[in-house]
Structure 1
Amino acid sequence: MTITATTEYEPLTESTAITLAQDLKFFKEGALLHCREIGDGNLNLVFHIRDENNTGIIIKQALPYAKVVGESWPLTLHRATIEGNYLKNAATLVPNLIPKVYYTNEALAITIMEDLSHLEIVRNGFLEGKNFPLLSKHIGEYLAKTLFYTSDFGLNQQDKKKLQQAFTNPELCKITEDLVFTDPFYESETNDYEPELLGSVEEIWNDAELKLEVAKLKYTFLTNGEALLHGDLHTGSIFASEIDTKVIDPEFAFFGPIGFDVGQFFANILLQAITRDDSQRASIISHLYQVWEGFTFTFSDLWKTESVEHFTQTPGYLDFFLKKVFTDAIGFAGCEVIRRTIGLAHVADLDTIQPYKRKISVKQQALLLGQTLIKNAANIRNIQDVESLLKNEIKGNE
């Protein structure tokens, strides 16, 4: 695949991905290259190319439709540009916590980046009982820096408005608006759940108090352009090891409420926590404490030392803002827990539980947890309160 100024989009194959890598001279001439398509997500092709010395690159290409549904669900290829631009921006803020970007091509909807195959997807590691001791410290730093420096506190307001224009992402935002905030709370054809959950699902659909709180959260998501979000920060979008952490897949990036990215991470830790028995749960819950402590410590330090907004020196303003972020995050986490249980895109944390009867029981508990988080977000003060909810309401996991 020789790239020219008139090269048109076509989906890569393992063969053409190798040709592309050769044309762009990522490997020495004559290198023996091996390519494997490793994408396991819903929206993209991902090729891992390596030579005989095991030196590699990743080529990620957006598809013009959602893999999870097929060509009947078309999607913009512009999301690849969004992803590449997000990673380039993040490289100035948290270079140690994202993959290096080597090349982007808008026409082909590709991003070529650092090979992270020496690391492991966090969700997969959790399922194998691994813990990743520095994960949440790193994610707390990642959240604080990427969110502060793209907010009105860390970025000149005029520059922020210009940056917002570059990250207008309506089609992928629509996916979140529908799949996270709408469809799970109504009888929608996108929902996907076991027949044994129908009673619990109908309780959600008929809960007016719950739906009012979800409506408020959706409105916040739609209207609060506080900072540049990753937009899909779950444990399947993070590579890690004992010492390293790398955040990937920011194609959902847009300007939204800071609590959304925080809440997405909260939710996916909780989804793993509820699958553990009492003796194993503490190590997972510790990630909630660490990420919030890391986020608030770094964000507060930046607020005090790097802010461009005069009012950040006003007593009480920081505490007010962090409380707002936490409350939003709890509500958003509740929505994410529910949608990952009965919505279109599930998580292996729940779907791989055996035996089947236990899977149904844990999913019922997940739905209960999600509802409780949403309805009580304003009264949940800290991570200790979240842990108490787990102890009080998530029972019988053994």
Structure 2
Amino acid sequence: MLIITADNIIEYVLNHTSIFTNNHLFVEDISDFNPEEEKEGFVNYIYKVYNDEKSVIVKQARPYLKYFGEGYGLTPFRNVLEYETLRLRGQIVSAYIPETYYIDRENYIFIMEDLSYLKVMRFQLNKMVYFPKFSKQVGEYLAKSNFYTSELYLKPETHRLLQATFINADMRSIMENAAFIRAAFLGLNYNTPNKKLLNISELVWSKDEVILECYKMRDIFMKRGECLIHGDLHTSNIFIDADKMKIIDMEYTFMGPYSFDMGYLIAHLVSQFSAFTFKSNVEEGKRERYCAYLLHTIKEIYDYYVYFFNECWEKDGKEAYKNLKGYKESILETFLSEVIGFAACANMIRLISLVGYPDFDVIEDMTDRCNAQGLSIAIDQFMLLNRSKIKSMDEFIQVILDIRKDYVKNLALKH
């Protein structure tokens, strides 16, 4: 396997592609984890190759996780599947997918569009930037990606071929365990601001009812191969500005439930909401307006998803399904509760993860940070245990506000 580095990558790109018309190129390693520079790379080796006229991104997967070293083995074939799903999704929702230029299947390298004209959404949210078009954009991306890779549209044999092609067993295994099972992290050091928060988290995870509900969500995740999902859709994998949005990092792609990607994404908006509640260095009125914006964004993502899903159903759904009264409604009936459940699991696990969590890490005051993460735990636990009781997105938003109100009130009483 050829290992690309800053020393040989220019020669590699020139020898294998005709992207550049001259050999006066520069290279930059952009794969480091560095939130201050708006980088959050853990898994792969990523380089920017450029000149005055053009730039591209070169991404290589190696047989291990970059952030943890060679002791953490992982199939590099994930890189090939990511390239294939980018090409596939590019046929469905091209406006939201970076262009791809080249694949080296032998060395697990692909080259794609450089998105540096956009910004990483997570770090822009940390700066209180508003994105008025995002809800519609990501709602359309999710609905169309789901629908057109599902058996609602595809022939059964094509759907089964997708399932076989995107088994992605190693990456599935990571998510099946790391996203749902607290025991997956036993004996490891956590990214927690202090022991108090870790103790609170441990208290939540010691509850049999919490463990049971996480396993129920894991069961849905493992057994429902409804459509091709992104698998790791969060705000660090979204590049954005006021008008455009592009989604990256699809190496976790496999067939899963309609509800997973939205739940995983909403989890990160809930964490932002919790963080802004306690950013005492920001004027209260501005914080409250931004918290309201984040909750409104959650509601709009869901509403736009349903809108575009219905649009796809009417335009391209199979007649046998469209003529079956109540079938579409049955698909959407449990969608919201699953979204809420997946969001809760994702946030509870990430709060005690092995890597940084920039939503909270930017809060310099440790008391504020601990309070923010504690609020997230309170919201996540309630979401997980009560997801089936929440019947509308408006009710979900109100639940979050009510939990925050009680949480802040209890903090005030303690002081």
State the partner residue of 1:34: 26
Q: Which residue pairs with 1:295 in the alignment?
A: 305
How many residues of Structure 1 are paired with residues of Structure 2 in the alignment? Answer: 388
CA distance in 1, matches of 2:305, 2:189: 34
Q: Specify the code of the residue in structure 2 equivalent to 1:44.
A: N
Distance 2:135 2:46 in 1: 26
Match of 1:304 in 2: 314
TM-score by length of 1: 0.93
Q: How does 1:10-89 map to 2 (within 5 A)?
A: 10-23=2-15, 24-30=17-23, 32-39=24-31, 40-53=40-53, 55-89=54-88
SS, match of residue 258 in structure 1: coil
Instruction: Give RMSD over aligned pairs.
Output: 1.8
In structure 2, what is the equivalent of residue 112 of structure 1? 111
Deviations 1:295-316 (A, max 9, x none): 1001011112211261333232
| CA distance, structure 2, for counterparts of residue 301 and residue 269 of structure 1 | 26
Deviations 1:124-144 (A, max 9, x none): 111111122211211100001
Change over 3 Å in CA distance of 1:346–1:386 after alignment to 2 = farther
Look up the SS of the partner of 1:15 in the other structure: coil
The answer to whether the aligner puts 1:248 opposite 2:248 as a matched pair is: yes
Give, in whole Å, the separation in 2 of the partners of 1:312 and 1:332.
Answer: 28
User: Match for 2:358 among 334, 342, 348?
Assistant: 348
1:218-237 superposed matches below 5 A: 218-237=218-237
Q: Secondary structure at the match of 2:91?
A: coil
Whichever residue aligns with residue 80 of structure 1, its letter is N
**Identical positions, percent:** 28
Paired with 2:361 and 2:322, the residues of 1 have a C-alpha distance of 45
The one-character-per-residue Cα deviations of 1:309-356 (angstroms, maximum 9, x if unpaired) are 613332322222112222111100000111121123442001221201
SS at match of 1:58: strand
Mapped to 1, the partners of 2:12 and 2:319 lie a distance apart of 46
- For structure 2, the residue ranges without an aligned partner over 5 or more in a row are 32-39, 277-286
Distance 1:52 1:305 in 2: 44
Contact residue 344 and residue 381 of structure 2 kept, 8 A: yes
2:6 alignment partner AA:
E
Measured against aligned partners, the alpha-carbon deviations of 1:177-215 in whole angstroms (never above 9, x if no partner) come to: 121111368745365433121331222222111111111
Aligned counterpart, 1:4: none
Q: Distance in 1 between matches of 2:270 and 2:365?
A: 20
Amino acid at match of 1:233: L
For residue 174 of structure 1, what is the amino acid of its counterpart? S
Q: 1:316 aligns with which of 319, 322, 326?
A: 326
Answering whether residue 363 of structure 2 is matched by residue 370 of structure 1, we say no
Change in CA separation of 1:216 and 1:188 when aligned onto 2, cut-off 3 Å = farther
* Mapped partners of 2:264, 2:168: distance in 1: 18
Q: Taking structure 1 as reference, are residues 328 and 346 closer, same or farther at Cα in structure 2, changes over 3 Å only?
A: farther
CA distance in 2, matches of 1:93, 1:229: 13
Deviates more, 1:67-76 or 1:239-248: 67-76
- Equivalent residues in 2 for 1:163-202, closer than 5 Å: 163-183=162-182, 187-189=186-188, 191-193=190-192, 194-202=194-202
Residue 382 of structure 1 deviates from its aligned partner by: 2.2
State the one-letter code of the partner of 1:288.
I
In structure 2, relative to structure 1, the CA distance for the partners of 1:190 and 1:106 (3 Å cut) is farther
- Asked if the contact 2:274/2:373 (under 8 Å) is kept, the reply is no
Deviation at 1:34, TM superposition (A): 1.4
Q: Who is 2:265 aligned against? A: 265
* Matched-pair contact (CA < 8 Å) for 1:184–1:338: no
More divergent stretch after superposition (342-351 vs 162-171): 342-351
Does the Cα contact within 8 Å between 2:299 and 2:397 map onto a contact in 1?
Answer: no
Secondary structure of the structure 1 residue equivalent to 2:92: coil
Counterpart of 2:36 in structure 1 is none
